[in-house]
Amino acid sequence: MPIYTYRCKKCSSKFDRIEGVIADPGEIECPDCGGHDAEKCFTSFNVGKSASSCPSAADCPACPTCPGGNCNI
């Protein structure tokens, strides 16, 4: 199941929930204030190569998201 990030409109607290794809934010309770008025926040994620997917350092392309710019680091 996906993880969604919500922001409570009452107290501005952000929290994550694991839930099904279809959920009504009005039914979600804020863990901080107990409010029932939350909105989904836009979040991003990155999927990149792991070091094990590169056969050798010479074959591994530059990876701007990895420390040092290389998957093998």
Provide the residue type at 26 as one letter: G
Residues 38-66: pLDDT tens digits?
A: 888 887 766 665 555 555 555 555 555 55
Cα–Cα distance between 71 and 8 in angstroms, integer?
38
Cα–Cα distance between 63 and 73 in angstroms, integer?
10
Helix (H, G, I), strand (E, B) or coil at 14: strand
One domain for residues 33 and 51: no
Structure tokens at 65: 């998201």
One domain for residues 55 and 36: no
Of 16-25, 33-42, 56-65, least confident by mean pLDDT is 56-65
User: What is the gyration radius of the CA atoms in the chain, in angstroms?
Assistant: 19
One domain for residues 14 and 34: yes
pLDDT surpasses 80 at 8: yes
- Domain of 69 in residue numbering reads as 47-73
**Number of domains observed in the structure of the chain:** 2
> What value does the mean pLDDT take over residues 24-31?
76
One domain for residues 59 and 33: no
Q: pTM, whole model, 2 decimals?
A: 0.53
